[in-house]
Amino acid sequence: MNFSGVIPILATPFKDDESVDLASLTKMIQFIEKSGVDGITVSGLLGESNRLVDSEKESLITTAVKATDGRLPVIATVSHTGTQGTIETAKMAKNAGASALMVAPVKLPVPNEQALFEYIKAVADGIDLPIVLQDHPQITAVNMSTDLIIRMVSEIPSIKCLKAEALPSPQRIALLKDSFGGRDITMLTGLGALYGIYDLESGSSGFNTGFAFPEILRAIIDQFNAGNHDTAWSIYHKYLPLIVFEQQPGTAIRKEILRLRGLIDSNHLRLPAKSISASAKQQLDALLKRCFGDADLTQILNIDDT
């Protein structure tokens, strides 16, 4: 698959009884496919994967593969606290039809970069699917040095993409891009696209994040890739307040936006996480009004820089 463009990370929809809502997942996938995305990612770190059991992860992947019916590649996040657990989850994802795997490093009691290298290599050796290496220390609590990432990319051929979320992401992307040499590897932007335009300027190939308006990300990267950098900047600048507000810790705001867009039936988060507060809901409604006026959020939005 081509790891570039817009590859949203999907929220995991739950019913109010905390069961996984596969019907809402299918509805969400069908909608974002119409917005022009290049793939999807399920069971991500901000898809509440740490609150899912293995059978639920399998059902998410199977449902996503069925919903896309081969039209879009499906990346499955398979990170586990142990090497064997990650390998077994990766095998399950492959059997369920995933096109690629996303793997994040595991926090160790004592930091050990050689052990992290061996962990990623063992996963790569255990399954023949391309790997997206996720570098997101704010969530994983693991800081991988640039030397370690360069070594992984150099010595583990199945790593085809780096999801670059370690801060400062623009500088890190630029440094790694210069260090990868001739390796055919792309880097994708996460963090809700918070530093999106700066990451693109530094060498990112697109967005791999859960921002609830993928059509905005599509417009930014299309304008950027067409050489219309001023227009890309204008779109980014116009919607940056929304990006910033949604990127607050957790997924409560994102899930409420998805509910307002008619993509999920409930904004419920699994305990101990809490759904959006009354004050945040009030601010969100005002912000959406500022950004979109009376536009119907349940439809694909026409994004421009005006």
CATH number of the CATH domain containing 38: 3.20.20.70
Domain-embedded: residue 90: yes
Tokens of 220: 């930014």
Query: Coil, strand or helix: which one is 247?
Result: coil
Say whether pLDDT at 46 is over 80.
no
Query: Coil, strand or helix: which one is 294?
Result: coil
Say whether pLDDT at 243 is over 60.
yes
The burial of 5, by beta-carbon neighbours within 10 Å (0-12 exposed, 13-18 middle, 19 or more buried), is given as buried
135 lies in which domain range?
Answer: 5-292
Peptide bond just before 214 cis, omega within 30 deg: no
Say whether pLDDT at 186 is over 90.
yes
Please, what is the angle between helix 22-34 and helix 54-68, to 10°? 40
pLDDT at position 304, please? 78
pLDDT at position 21, please? 97
Q: What is the mean pLDDT of residues 253-264?
A: 98
The burial of 227, by beta-carbon neighbours within 10 Å (0-12 exposed, 13-18 middle, 19 or more buried), is given as exposed
Say whether pLDDT at 306 is over 80.
no
Domain-embedded: residue 221: yes
pLDDT, tens only, 51-72? 899 999 999 999 999 999 999 9
Residue 175: CB atoms within 10 A of its CB come to: 14
Domain-embedded: residue 306: no
Domain-embedded: residue 239: yes
**CB neighbour burial string for 140-168, b if at least 16 within 10 angstroms, e if fewer:** bebebeeebbbebbeebebbbbbbbbbee
pLDDT at position 26, please? 98
Residue 118: CB atoms within 10 A of its CB come to: 12
Domain-embedded: residue 305: no
Domain-embedded: residue 61: yes
Q: Confirm if 172 and 136 have CB atoms less than 8 A apart.
A: no
Say whether pLDDT at 170 is over 90.
yes
Kindly report the CA angle at 43 between 276 and 50, in degrees rounded to 5? 70
Q: How many domains does the chain have?
A: 1
Say whether pLDDT at 305 is over 80.
no
The burial of 247, by beta-carbon neighbours within 10 Å (0-12 exposed, 13-18 middle, 19 or more buried), is given as middle
Confidence label for 235 from pLDDT (cuts 50, 70 and 90): very high
- Model confidence, pTM: 0.95
Domain-embedded: residue 26: yes
Rounded distance between C-alpha atoms, residue 58 and residue 27, angstroms: 18
Domain-embedded: residue 297: no
